[in-house]
Every structure is written in structure tokens, then in C-alpha cells.
Amino acid sequence: MTLHTDATHDPALRSWVDSANVAGCDFPIQNLPFGRFRAADGGARIGVAIGDQILDLRAAGLAGSDDMNALMAMPPAQRRALRERISQGLAAGSAQQAAWAPALVARAQAEMLLPCRIGDYTDFYTSVHHATNVGRQFRPDNPLLPNYKWVPIGYHGRASSIGVSGARVKRPMGQRKAPDAAAPVLAPCERLDYELELGWFIGQGNAQGAPIAMGEAEQHLFGVALFNDWSARDIQGWEYQPLGPFLSKNFASTLSPWVVTMEALAPFRAPFARPEGDPQPLPYLDSAENRAHGAFSITLEVLLQTARMRAEGIAPVVLSRTDTTRAAYWTPAQLVAHHTVNGCNLQSGDLFGSGTLSGPGETEAGSLLELAAAGQRPVPLPTGERRSFLEDGDTLTLRGWCERAGAVRIGLGEASGTVVG
Ligand code: CA
């Protein structure tokens, strides 16, 4: 486990890239997230975000290839060594400055790509508040099913439709049926929603038939990005029984381009605990280390700007804000241990969606379905517009960051997408 902070987290550390030293910056030298961008020759290059710049790893002599999945699959000790080299080279006063300065690319000019080849994508359901809120919409008399507090619930999603921030998301067609209608119709989705999630990336895989125990689980995690699991609620309500979501989810998902590593998250760990009266995890999902610091404190925020707000020069409004420690019922290590307990093999670049991260409060919900109470309480906007679900032209943005006394704030950047008809 990457439990401890080291010289790369030193709050006094500053970079010769001046923009990385600005207070509140998402990408100070203590962060160093990985992403891929399009190089001048059209190929995909691996970069590390530093302030408003990207360090091209190949141009800086730090990577022999542009294969992010191979980089992610490195043993954790090698990953830490690479992080130390990058940190030392970008630190103020480094002898590398002259050699690395030409390897910088302005982030504003760079076209970002998906961080890696995503092999398989699994979406979990780790917020008990979201599970209860949504369960109440679909099953008023039985909101939380009895397996929830024992099993990290998830389903296998589809990787082909996952895109990177800045995407245009086409409103899907699908089958839906009004409760009082005799038959369903095929029509454009009328209840288009977002889901505020984190995407956890697998680094090292495991062999089929060889489960990953809790003690090793974090060795297999590479890092985290923001993840919007766009959802068609009317299609979902009709199709989800008995096998779960299908076309209501797989038309599009949007990732932020920068993967913040497990190493960078080290200062922002938190204890894992169960509310009083809830069952304790079964032994294969339990460990002293997980209880002590298996959770992560990441502040998450959702912003909306409608086409009219954009036309009138009105800034995006914050729809909700929460913290993962208030929302997640399971830790990332528990997701890895559970996913592999039957012998399922994970591969470098696999993606675990956290599930919608809704906190307990009304302003902490991670979807419009919850914020607007399934259309009964539309969300008012500064233009006088109201939203129960997303409309064409709406731009939805997820943001995330970590803050703690004694540590430098790091950000996850943003995952943004605009709905088109
Ligand atoms: Ca989801």
C-alpha cells in the first residue's frame, strides 16, 4: 500500500514551472498526474500535468514508449521511482530545467485523449445514499435491497463509448414506457441525467484464478479520474429488471483526462468505518489497514451551464458538492478484492466506476434524479430556467480536489460534456 508521504509531498516543494506554484492550482508539483495528449505528429504521447503545462515524458527522456497501459502496469516501486525522478526534475533549482523546458507543452494548446486503452469497465454502486434515493424512485416500498450492505454491487459496463472531457453527448434513443401506457415506444430519451462518479484505474493485473487479497489490493490500483456516467432514466426504468442497466448507460460516459496516482493521494487518506448497527464487512473485504486508512477524502462538485446561461454570459452554477468520505460505503481496495474473489482477472487499464457519489444531504446528491426528486422539485437556475433533467445545450462539469491541513491542495481537473440533440 502507498500509505506514507515522502519527499514528493513536501509542502515546501516548488517548481521552476511558475504556474504550478499558484495557490489553488490543480496541478502543483505535489500532484503529477498522468494523461495522454496528441503530439504534433498526430500520435498519442504520455504527459504529466504541471501547472498550466504538460511535461512530454518521451521528450524529457523519461519514457521509452507512448504506451500508457505499460506504464500503468509497472510495479509500484518502479512507479514511485518514476514519480521521484519527475518531482526532482521539476523542482525549483533542478539541474534538469534546461533539458526539460523544451519538453513542455501548454495545456491550453493540447488536445487531450483518453488516458489509456480501457479494457474492461465495471460500474459499482458505492454510495448507500444514492442506492437508497434511487431505490425509492423505482421501488418505494423496498428502497435498499438486503444484499447492499454485504456485497459491493456492480455490473459490467461497456468501454467503447467512454470519451474524454469536452465531449458532445448525443441524446440517446431508446425504449421507454409510461406507467399507464399499454406498450412502450421508441423515442429520444426525455429524462437524461448525469452521474457524479470517480473512475479508479487498474495498474497491475492479476492472473485468472488468482484473487487479489485486501492486503495487496492497492498495489493493483494506479489512480483516479472524474467520471460522468450519463444515464437515460426513462430507458433505465423500463429495461433494468431483471439484469440491470443496459442501453440506459452505454451510449456515453465522460472521463477527465488526468489520472491522479495513488501516490499523489497518500496525504488524503481517511479511515474506513461502518455506521453503528450496519454489518461489518466479511473477512475477505476487511483488513486493519483498510479500517485505518482505506478511504480517500476527495471533494466533488457538479456544475451546470445551460445554453441560455452561456449566451447571457452567466457562469456555471454549482448543483451539488460532497466528499467521498461522506458518500462511499466501500473503499477502492474492497472493490478490487471483491471483483477478483471469484478468480476474475483484471488487466492494466481496466476502469472501475465508483457509482454515483451522493452524500447524505439534499445538496450532496450526485444526479439530477435525486436533486430534483424525479421531477417533483425542479432545480431553479439564475436565468429563471428550471431543470428536472438535462436539456440540449446543457454543459455539465464535474470537478474534484483534495485538501488537508499540512498538505498542498491537489486537483483532479474536470470532466465536462455538452448535451446535443
Ligand atoms: Ca453509474
For position 41, what pLDDT does the model report?
A: 83
Residues with CB under 5 A from ligand 1 (ion): 123, 195, 229
Angle (nearest 5°) at CA 307 between 305 and 310 = 65
Q: How many domains does the chain have?
A: 2
pLDDT at 1 over 70: no
Residue 2 in any domain: the answer is no
Of 273, 259, 270, the C-alpha closest to 296 is 270
How far is the centre of ligand 1, averaged over its atoms, from the C-alpha of 386 (Å)?
A: 24
Determine phi and psi for 410, rounding to 5 degrees.
Answer: -125, 150
Chosen domain end from 113, 142, 166: 113
pLDDT at 308 over 80: yes
How far is the centre of ligand 1, averaged over its atoms, from the C-alpha of 192 (Å)?
A: 13
How far is the centre of ligand 1, averaged over its atoms, from the C-alpha of 317 (Å)?
A: 23
The whole-number average pLDDT for the span 257-272 is 97
pTM above 0.75, yes or no: yes
Chosen domain end from 113, 136, 171: 113
Residue of 130, 220, 338, 339 with catalytic role = 130
For position 2, what pLDDT does the model report?
A: 54
What would the pLDDT profile of 83-119 be if each residue is shown by its tens digit? 999 999 999 999 999 999 999 999 999 999 999 999 9
Specify whether 204 is located in the same domain as 69. no
Chosen domain end from 84, 113, 142: 113
**Three-state SS across 339-354?**
HHCCCCCCCCCCEEEC
Specify whether 288 is located in the same domain as 144. yes
pLDDT classification of 40: cutoffs 50, 70, 90: confident
Specify whether 131 is located in the same domain as 246. yes
Handedness of CA 166, 259, 193, 403 (dihedral sign): negative
| CATH number of domain containing 84 | 2.30.30.230
Q: How far is CA 44 from CA 52, 56, 409, in A?
A: 19, 11, 29
How far is the centre of ligand 1, averaged over its atoms, from the C-alpha of 106 (Å)?
A: 33
| CATH number of domain containing 391 | 3.90.850.10
Domain that holds residue 186: 121-420
How far is the centre of ligand 1, averaged over its atoms, from the C-alpha of 135 (Å)?
A: 14
Asked about 130 being catalytic, the answer comes back as yes
pLDDT at 69 over 80: yes
Residue 193 in any domain: the answer is yes
Specify whether 198 is located in the same domain as 286. yes
Specify whether 105 is located in the same domain as 246. no
What would the pLDDT profile of 196-243 be if each residue is shown by its tens digit? 999 999 999 999 999 999 999 999 999 999 999 999 999 999 999 899
